[in-house]
Amino acid sequence: MQTPKILIIGGGYGGLKAALGLQRKLKTPASITLISKHDYHYQTTLLHKVSIGTLSARKARIYYRKILNPKKIHFIKDKILKILPNENKVLGNGGEYSYDYLIIGLGFKPDSFGIKGVEEHTFKLSSLNASLKLSKNIENKFKEFVHTKNPQDLHTIICGTGFTGIEFAAELATQISELSLICGIDKNIPKITCIGRSKHILPVFDQKLAKVAQDKLQKLGVEIICEGNIKEIQKNKVLLEKDGKELEICGNTIIWSAGVKGSDIVEKSEIPNKKGRIPVNSQLQCESFPNIYAVGDCALATSKDVIHAPTAQLAAQMGDYIADLFVAKLSNEPFKKDFKFHHRGTVCSIGHTDGVGVVYGKKLKGEMAAFMKNTIENKWLFSIGGFEMVFKKGQFRYRTSN
């Protein structure tokens, strides 16, 4: 009998967890390959820190070859360009790869919702490289201010008041004094504006907890505009409608964090999908192509008709589940268990030592929330590389990578 070929594409929370689970648990022969577009995994949940420069790129990179056993998982660095589900193949820059089973974990893409100018005129926190580009831009704007003297260079506009936008705004706000001091700028000149469509920031939380976060941000000097409907982005300008009035907000750094969709590679494929997310059954399987499974932001998973919001927590649990499913499948053992998401909690950081969140149903704020946030990040590191990884790459009360 031929050895089954399992191909995992995308080494994020979902894909990497599936690969590591198989590496650890699979005892039957199988050819398992993980393809991802970089040599390293990065914690997407920390990209706001990379964008401000409070987490170095070196610390953010976790090299696959250091955590994968080549005798069990073959790693290939390649960018996937196309999925051909009818031919059981995917195409990458480096060639074509065939499979018996495909696990898709290609992650997310920012969703512009068709708003004009988003693609051309905004920065996104969509990958480590995109975050490094934003970090360089902020650093340059501060450094060059002594020559340009243009206050708009120090006005950062964030479109989106969800998790990504708020964590980024807070991280920047807590660094303004330091950046201003280093560059010899009056710390009252830099400005941060956050624009969101919802009634209050962080709609995943109730109004009371969101208000706690909003007060903290305002104390840090962040201007917040809720119920603002962004109509267009122009170069250094956001056009929006609020309370029936048209507004124009000018600033020379604009960040788009108003929403995400699934991978564009999935979106353009013949696999049935909704904006790059594959509707999967209770075993994370694509019904039209039963040898294809999806994990993380590429999967549209529901339980009791509730669509799960795409999070790293969900992606990692899906990766674990898929590994267990394949261990049973390849050993010809029955696997009846359905995927069930265990929502343990959500914490939004407000800078490095503050935050708000709900963990196991308990509301947290301040240092305790920041502590929980670091614990969540470190738990992920532990799950992929044990204590050694936590000590090398972990998040602690005192920064080691500022």
Shortest distance (Å) from residue 151 CB to ligand FAD: 27
* Closest CA relative to residue 277, chosen from 264, 287, 289, 259: 264
How many angstroms separate the CA atoms of 307 and 40, rounded?
30
State the residues that interact with ligand FAD by CB under 6 A. 10-15, 35-38, 41, 44-45, 47-48, 79-80, 105-108, 125, 163-164, 167, 263, 265, 296-298, 310-313, 315
Within 8 A by CB and 6+ apart from 66, the residues are: 385
Query: Which is closer to ligand FAD, CB of 145 or CB of 195?
Result: 195
Kindly tell me which of 101 and 145 has the beta carbon lying closer to ligand FAD.
101
Beta bridge partners of 96: 91
Is-catalytic flag, 267? no
Q: Which two tokens stand for residue 304?
A: 């009791």
Burial 321-347 (b: 16+ CB within 10 A, else e): bbbbbbbebbeeeeeeeebebeeeebb
- Name the token pair of 336: 């009846």
User: Of these residues, 96, 119, 139, 167, which one is catalytic?
Assistant: 167
Least CB distance from residue 341 to ligand FAD, whole Å?
11
Environment class of 132 (CB within 10 Å of its CB; exposed 0-12, middle 13-18, buried 19+) = middle
Indicate the residue among 152 and 401 with the shorter CB distance to ligand FAD: 401
The neighbour count for residue 238, using CB atoms within 10 Å, is 26
Q: Which residues contact 392 (CB under 8 A, 6 or more apart)?
A: 385
Burial classification of residue 162, based on how many CB atoms lie within 10 Å of its CB (0-12 exposed, 13-18 middle, 19 or more buried): buried
Nearer to ligand FAD by C-beta: 10 or 21? Answer: 10
Shortest-Cβ-distance residue relative to ligand FAD: 12
Taking the complex as a whole, the smallest distance from the CB of residue 19 to ligand FAD amounts, in Å, to 11
Residue 307 phi/psi, 5-degree rounding, is -80, 130
CB of 371 to ligand FAD, least distance (A): 14
* Pick 224 or 372: Cβ nearer ligand FAD: 372
Are the C-beta atoms of 154 and 191 separated by less than 8 Å? Answer: yes
Nearest distance from residue 48's CB to ligand FAD, in Å?
A: 5
Q: Where are the beta strands (DSSP E) in 181-234?
A: 191-195, 222-225, 229-234
Q: How far is the CB of 385 from ligand FAD (least distance, A)?
A: 16
Q: Pick between residue 35 and residue 300 the one whose CB is nearest to ligand FAD.
A: 35
| Count of other CB atoms within 10 angstroms of residue 259 | 17
Give the active site residues.
167
